[in-house]
Structure 1
């Protein structure tokens, strides 16, 4: 059985989808949890796919989230050891026209650009970053803004995600979702159109201005 979709553009999450920075992110958050006496197991359930400020408001509402996240982001920018590309990601986006894709990330723009550079993943022409939205994932605003930035209807875009909050965001925006399981594991939302571990599992073609994406899968 073959899964197949035709669309006009792709919207990619970054962490866990194009770039694997999980070791870096969890190292920084574990250190923060220890300093602030926060339950680290509870914290780690909420860090992926969310803006840092929203994570802090959720797990530690008694703290000044803006001040705390500023400290965390400075630490992240200072040491990006362990940041690598998701297998096949760089080659995949290099096959796309600049007008056919954008990144929709919960990271600030400077952090996102630095991670892409360290991992060797091409930088897109368009990025919706943490600082570009009023409400982050799992709200649909980030993906709706990403589609608008490319001048596309959300239903004519396909989102690539790995985290539960991002999957919900893209799904609520009305987009089919390809879930990358390489870093985060299998989709637990049940909302994915298809799941892949590696970009080489996808067949990409262009025809009449459309992107055609397919994956062979066992029935």
Structure 2
């Protein structure tokens, strides 16, 4: 399959950086400390700002206080860049890609630095938006920062909340099946197994994005 666009907007965790072990470890410890079934947290936390997750599973607690109890958001033990992520970013013109993550800025920058990924010129984090994913604001803001209409963007997302956010923003969405099964990303335009399945070429007319489908998607 192939698609022409003007820019690519990336989620961070689960798309460019494999942080599943770190995130799971932090949430599991927090849930145990607070007497909350981890299954309740796990069901809603993927791809969403931590504050909103806490508000949903523990509305009786102060979310800003609980963020600190999650532990060091900058923890890097076990973090890795997904195969092909760095090469893909380095191939893209700097004004043709951005990141929109549900993590906070200090967390996101620490993770990218640890795995050696370049920082984008447009970097939207949970600190920059009033409403996080699945609201469209993160991807709307990322596209606006590049000066490009969201409808001319391709978004790479690994979480249902992120897919919904991108679709509401008007973008074409490729689900990346690293943290969720393909059927959980069925609302995406297509589902790929990982970023290495992409072949992106830049030209005068914009970007040409080719991909291989994930089996069963």
Q: Same fold judged by TM-score > 0.5?
A: yes
1:105-124, aligned counterparts within 5 Å? 105-124=101-120
Render the CA deviation track for 1:150-171: whole Å, top value 9, x for unaligned. Answer: 1010100110100111010001
Alignment of 1:185-204 (within 5 A): 185-204=181-200
1:82 & 1:137 partners in 2: Cα distance? 25
2:61 aligns with 63
> CA 1:122/1:184 → structure 2, altered by over 3 Å: closer, same or farther?
farther
Contact 1:162/1:179 (<8 A) preserved = yes
1:67 and 1:216 map into 2 onto residues whose CA distance is 43
Match among 114, 122, 131 for residue 127 of structure 2:
131
Which residue of structure 1 lines up, in the alignment, with residue 31 of structure 2?
33
SS at 1:211 equivalent? strand
C-alpha distance after superposition, 1:60-84 (max 9, x if no partner): 0000011111332x5232x310011
Task: Tell me, yes or no, if structure 1 residue 16 matches structure 2 residue 19.
Answer: no
Q: Does the aligned pair in 2 maintain the 1:159–1:177 contact within 8 Å?
A: yes
Give 1:76's aligned residue: 73
Matched residue pairs, number? 215
Q: CA deviation at 1:91?
A: 0.7
Which secondary structure state, in structure 2, belongs to the residue aligned with residue 11 of structure 1? strand
Residue ranges of structure 1 left out of the alignment (5+ in a row):
none
1:189/1:71 CA distance change after superposition, 3 Å: same
Q: Which residue of 2 aligns with 1:101?
A: 97
* Matched residue, 1:151: 147
The TM-score, its normalising length taken from structure 2, stands at 0.94
Shift of 1:19: 0.4
Q: CA deviation at 1:21?
A: 0.4
Runs of 4+ more than 6 Å apart? none
Are the counterparts in 2 of residues 11 and 103 from structure 1 also a CA contact under 8 Å?
yes
Which segments of 5 or more consecutive residues in structure 2 lack a partner in the other structure? Answer: none
- In the alignment, what sits opposite 1:182? 178
Equivalent pair of 2:132/2:138 in contact (CA under 8 Å): yes
Match of 1:87, SS? coil
